[in-house]
Amino acid sequence: MAEISAALVRELREKSGAGMMDCKKALTETNGNVEEAIDWLRKKGLAAAAKKAGRVAAEGLVGVATNGTKGAIVEINAETDFVARNEQFQAMVRNITEIALKGTDSVDALKTAQYDNANTVEGEITRLIATIGENMNLRRTQSLSVSQGVISSYIHNATAPGLGKIGVLVALESAAPADKLNELGKKIAMHIAAANPLALTVEEVDPTALERERTVLIEQARATGRPEEIIQKMVEGRVRKFYEEVVLLEQTFVLDGQSRVSDVVDQASKELGSPIKLAGYVKYTLGEGIEKEESDFAAEVAAQASGTR
């Protein structure tokens, strides 16, 4: 059986919101698997429903750039938030995002793209590492495009124009005026930043995630002691509720708190006199899914002090 360390219990507690003893029991029951332990807690009604995105554990910047029917988003990490406020670093992230906008839709392709007359993108990152003295990493990039319409963007709590910790791109296909589409696209991008959808449509929901959710819901429903046919109806109702929580087009639009996102798009189509299709989106949250080594600052200071005696 895996050793259940205090750090593992703390991680589960932070992700689930459950009590310490419940977390320890859940980890014991699941042999130290945190994700299975979250499901175990949920089945017992001890944890909040919802998968939480990975904690932001890396610094740097997310950059977005758009040009009419094209858009690109890039994440470049650094060791400290101090670097994210450095004008040289900001300029580099902005420039690399503009390079990505030209059509380099993979990290490898972007790294080998020409940055300036002297360096490739990878070479420029290496140069700045030497200049600033912190490790940096081009972590990911993605682009969106439409044949007709716009790619809109939004940066939440922008550090500088087009740069911040949360970036969103939204693709709208339509013959409607670009300025009106951009207004709609920015609102939807703001919604995405707040609501964190997992898929654009019901059909695009990850089957593994859906099956995992259904398993938890069945266990919760059976705990009520009701007949099997009632349980099935309860589960189907809760699955529909799950879709409303995680599917972009099914979510309640955060800007009015009433309409579904799909209804907002339909209403805009009527007002602008042209069909509008929400064709895609991308959301990057800085550092999501990266584990950051925790340090005990007081212990470090004490160790350094003892070493100087």
Residue 56, pLDDT score: 35
Cβ within 8 Å of residue 95, ≥6 positions away: 115
- Nearest Cα neighbor of 243 from 215, 203, 216, 284 is 203
88 touches 96 (CB < 8 A):
no
**How many of the other CB atoms lie within 10 Å of CB of 36?**
15
Residue 49 pLDDT more than 50? no
Is residue 239 exposed (0-12), middle (13-18) or buried (19+ Cβ within 10 Å)?
middle
| Conformation bin of residue 178: beta by default, left when phi > 0, alpha when psi is -120 to 50 | alpha
Confidence of residue 293 (pLDDT cuts 50, 70, 90): low
pLDDT tens sequence across 186-198: 999 999 999 999 9
The whole-chain average pLDDT of the chain stands at 85
List C-alpha distances in Å: 301 to 52, 80, 292, 295.
33, 19, 20, 11
Residue 304 pLDDT more than 60? no
Q: Which residue spans of the chain are classified as CATH 1.10.8.10?
A: 1-48
Residue 291, pLDDT score: 63
Give me the CATH topology for the region 59-175+277-285: Tetrahydropterin Synthase; Chain A (3.30.479)
Q: Which residue spans of the chain are classified as CATH 3.30.479.20?
A: 59-175+277-285
Q: Identify the residue whose tokens are 């004008």.
A: 87
**Range scoring the smallest mean pLDDT among 77-81, 207-211, 264-268:** 207-211
**CA 110 to CA 7: how far, in whole Å?**
37
Residue 300 pLDDT more than 70? no
Instruction: Kindly state the DSSP code that residue 114 receives in the 8-state scheme.
Output: B
pLDDT tens sequence across 110-167: 999 999 988 899 999 888 887 887 888 999 999 999 999 999 999 998 999 999 999 9
Confidence of residue 19 (pLDDT cuts 50, 70, 90): low
Q: What are phi and psi of 284, to 5 degrees?
A: -115, 130
Helical spans, DSSP H, in the chain: 6-16, 20-29, 34-43, 81-84, 87-101, 107-112, 121-132, 178-195, 207-222, 228-246, 261-272, 297-307
**CA 309 to CA 11: how far, in whole Å?**
36
Please report, rounded to a whole number, the percentage of residues in the chain having pLDDT higher than 70.
88
Higher pLDDT, 102 or 50: 102
Residue 209, pLDDT score: 79
Residue 215, pLDDT score: 81
Instruction: Order across the sheet with 59-67: list the strands.
Output: 136-145, 70-78, 59-67, 163-164
- For the segment 59-75, the average pLDDT, to the nearest whole number, is 97
Which CATH architecture fits 1-48? Orthogonal Bundle (1.10)
